[in-house]
Structure 1
């Protein structure tokens, strides 16, 4: 399916809601733009999602806890 978007002041475009839902793009997400010289392709930037997951997984994990675990690994 082809979608159309208008470029507004400052070079901004709005990604149609159907596409945002389909690709799971939410406010504040980062997208990647790629060019082959003739076309511009927009794709979801999965590194942002991966970083968000990592931050959630590490929530509450302290440096002291990390050091205790490493020292245990090293036999100290």
Structure 2
């Protein structure tokens, strides 16, 4: 389904209510705006960005890799054991 919204005074855009409900958006939530390669615009919730970042980190580092391991490895690389 396609949605339309107007940009109003101050550059504000109202996201349609049914989309806000579908994505669990509440007043005061943070959304992340990204420029797309084709010149478009992506709007994602902060939670969506966190989940995507976690998924990509698992792909790169493996599912069992921890922040503590990352810090320890970097300290070792810099001679800060």
TM, length-normalised to structure 1: 0.58
Which stretches of structure 1, 4 residues or more, deviate above 3 A after TM superposition? none
- CA-based RMSD of the aligned residues comes to 1.9
Larger strand fraction of residues: 2
TM, length-normalised to structure 2: 0.55
Distance of 1:10 and 1:23 partners within structure 2: 24
**For 1:19, what is the secondary structure of its paired residue?**
helix
> Unaligned 5+ residue runs, structure 1?
50-76
Per the alignment, residue 26 of structure 2 pairs with 26
Kindly state the Cα deviation for residue 11 of structure 1 after the two structures are TM-superposed: 0.6
